[in-house]
Structure 1
Amino acid sequence: MIAIGGSAGSLPVLAALLEQLPHPLECTMIIVLHRLKNVPSDLDRLLSFKTPIVEPEDKQPVLPNRIYLAPQNYHLLIEQDYTFSLDYSEPLHYSRPSIDISFDSVAETYGSRALGMLLSGASKDGAAGLQRIVSAGGTGIAQHPGTALFDTMPQAAMDRCADIQPLTVPEMVQFLQELKMSPEHDR
């Protein structure tokens, strides 16, 4: 499972990562972006390059080799039975969806089979969740703060956990291209 979180300044980086993903995709990916809650959005279609991106529905199964985008104004969680849960509880770090909440559920469900990536953003959302992924045995990557339009989010993650790797955008692309998932990691 690859979980990517971002906020202000992350869209160009996310687009660059998605454009360079290997095809066919050999894993499941969720994307959690801070977005305006009451404005119509076609972000799922705009980001669909080689692989369609869909916004999951509550209790929908997590399927292998798919990319999912957290719906606007809902926290996105993955349950132990590998289904999505949409939550409308209070915003965390002024955000719903919250990257921390999604990353926490990814850490709990996938443990060492999780890769968390935190991109540009102007809040600290995602820092604690990325630390949790690393603590569960997964891998944590943060966009190198010197390359982020807003460095607060990736810097907060690196300040919380020394095991989080700071990577530039080309390094993140290379990392994803070289990533090989074995069949048991599909879920």
Structure 2
Amino acid sequence: MRTAFPGTDSDPPALPRVNAIVVGASAGGVEALLKIFRPLRRGFTLPIIVVLHVPDERRSLLAEVFGSNLAIPVKEADDKEVITPGTLYFAAPGYHLSVEEDLTLSFSQEERVYHSRPSVDILFESAADAYEARLAGVLLTGANNDGARGIARIREYGGLTVVQDPAQALARAMPEAALALHTPDFLLSLADIGQLLVELERIAC
């Protein structure tokens, strides 16, 4: 497990090629996600799919908020949508979001996971099934255990796993639950996670 990301040409980290990135967050997640996505420049080529726990009784404004603050295209995911490179997708409130084997997105209303729908676990596990080793999973701040099982599944398939350092998380429960199940490839600050995403895209090009 690496606890720092050098991000320099003289000391490049050993990273795999990935075809997609999945990210999960809960309490404190808006600020954390903005911090890791701000370094991404226009023309970023990897798709990013995000579950952020939000109340499901009202329309989400995440796509609008992030779209006005980031250089890459941002949208709320649609059911049966084909995953497009270079797009940041947010799960819609009230529905679990899955990645299908044909690399489309799908909605479901199965039981909540840790009181949450959408669930980080369902996104991560389905994406691992679809992308296998060509997937990077990132788990950030959160106040429950959602995502721990999913990021362990990504690791089982040989994908890259990244967990926010719980000492720097607004809510430690989510990253600590992940660490209790497996040792990630990287345990990083938000700033280093942002640089890692930049490097993953550079390698993929």
TM-score, structure 1 normalization: 0.94
Deviation at 1:171, TM superposition (A): 1.2
Alignment of 1:42-81 (within 5 A): 42-48=61-67, 49-81=70-102
* 15, 28, 39: which one aligns with 1:9: 28
Tell me the distance in 1 between the aligned counterparts of 2:113 and 2:21: 21
Structure-2 residue corresponding to 1:182: 204
Deviation larger for 73-82 or 52-61: 52-61
2:37 partner letter = L
SS in 1 for 2:137: strand
- Unaligned 5+ residue runs, structure 2? 1-19
Residue 171 of structure 1 aligns to a residue whose secondary structure is: helix
What secondary structure does 1:132 align onto?
Answer: helix
Which runs of 4 or more aligned residues in structure 1 lie more than 3 Å from their structure 2 counterparts after TM superposition? Answer: none
Q: Percent identity?
A: 36
Matched length: 183
1:164 Cα deviation (Å)?
Answer: 4.4
**After alignment, is 123-132 or 19-28 more displaced?**
19-28
CA-CA distance at 1:62 after TM superposition: 1.1
Equivalent residue number for residue 87 of structure 1: 108
Residue 24 (structure 1) aligned with residue 43 (structure 2): yes
CA contact (8 A) 1:158 1:166 kept: no
Q: C-alpha separation between the residues in 2 aligned to 1:166 and 1:69?
A: 23
The TM-score normalised by the length of structure 2 is 0.86
Deviates more, 1:160-169 or 1:119-128: 160-169
How much has 1:19 moved relative to structure 2? Answer: 1.1
Greater shift after overlay, 33-42 or 112-121? Answer: 33-42
Unaligned runs of 5+ in 1: none
